[in-house]
Amino acid sequence: MALLEVKDLSIYYQMHRGDAKAVDGVSFSIKENETLGLIGESGCGKTTIALSLLRFIRPPGKITGGSIIYNGTNILDLSEDGMRRLRGNEIAIVRQEAQNALNPVLTVGEQIAEQIIEHDKVDKNTAWQRAKDQLELVGIGADRVRSYPHEFSGGMRQRVMIAIATANYPKLLILDEPITGLDVIVQRQLLKLIADLRDRFELTIIFIAHDLSVIAENCDRVVVMYAGKVAENSNTSDLYHKPLHPYSSALISSYPSILGERQELKSIPGAPPSLVNPPPGCLFADRCEHVMDICRQKIPPEYDIDGRSVACHLYEHSKEPQV
């Protein structure tokens, strides 16, 4: 059974010019202990989806339709008290640029202990001891419990954020661009830490990134997003070796590979469409080298191809188009 099932989710931002459809009819699910990658260009809706899973969408944003079923309960129907119990205890998030979100006037120990007390009925001494344990767990060491955020590097602050997010033993951990802006060696160390935590605590993870190699190495399945919609949903290996959607294919061709022959990198021409006044039909049509007349008239439905899904008219009659 799926731990999380997102069905037909729509999230709009009310703008002067009309509603921006940041997320439009998105569906996907994630099984327990699975790591799901969410990938796509900036503004495609990845972070908006992540925030919606904890009901962190604030005006002018609004969840306008669909459901988010976690462990059999639609979290969109939960009371605020119900959400407070869910956040941290069941689902936790490490937000984008999170390492800059630490409170500069509190020690890291205080910030971890605060999180523990907010979600768990424990006394201060117990919370303090658990904060030390968390710092050990993320490889910082309990002796730094009284240090302030400015005494840490960016990578260490990100470890603190992971310590805070996992302090109440959530089942589902959402990592929104967790290694962006860090140097390559620190990125490697953090990815190893995340993999260790996943294995040790049997975590289910949603991993948001724009770096395809990171997704390829760390995720079981990948949801490729384009302009607020799911373009393709596939297991990772098949996506990389045989992408179905022209956008997935273009995304893969635009990243260097250290394996195989040297190939020229291709950029994706053009830019994503307006989300306020989107064109009719497929939103990728203006950038797609396989575009057909029908693409500009009709929104492509999702086709099921051997357990993968792809939203593209190329698959209306054939399972094997070349993209």
Binding site for ligand SF4 (CB under 6 A): 246, 282, 284-285, 288, 290-292, 295, 300, 312-314
Question: Is omega for the bond preceding 60 within 30 degrees of 0, making it cis?
Answer: yes
CA angle 111, 161, 180 (to 5 degrees): 150
Give phi and psi for 170, each to the nearest 5: -70, 160
Give phi and psi for 206, each to the nearest 5: -110, 120
CB of 287 to ligand SF4, least distance (A): 8
CB of 37 to ligand SF4, least distance (A): 20
Q: Helix, strand, coil proportions of the chain in percent (round to 5)? A: 35, 25, 40
CB closer to ligand SF4 out of 108 and 285 = 285
Tokens 């997102």 appear where? 6
CB closer to ligand SF4 out of 121 and 319 = 319
Contact 295, 315 (CB under 8 A): no
CB of 27 to ligand SF4, least distance (A): 18
CB closer to ligand SF4 out of 15 and 294 = 294
Find residue 225's DSSP bridge partners: 230
CB closer to ligand SF4 out of 103 and 318 = 318
Longest alpha-carbon distance in the chain: 67
CB closer to ligand SF4 out of 196 and 289 = 289
142-149: long-range contacts (C-beta < 8 A, 24 or more apart)?
144/108, 145/107, 145/108, 145/109, 146/107, 146/109, 147/107, 147/108, 148/104, 148/105, 148/106, 148/107, 148/108, 149/102, 149/103, 149/104, 149/108
CB of 207 to ligand SF4, least distance (A): 25
CB closer to ligand SF4 out of 193 and 312 = 312
CB of 289 to ligand SF4, least distance (A): 8
Give phi and psi for 125, each to the nearest 5: -65, -45
CB of 311 to ligand SF4, least distance (A): 7
CB closer to ligand SF4 out of 125 and 322 = 322
**Which of 219, 145, 135 is CA-nearest to residue 175?**
219
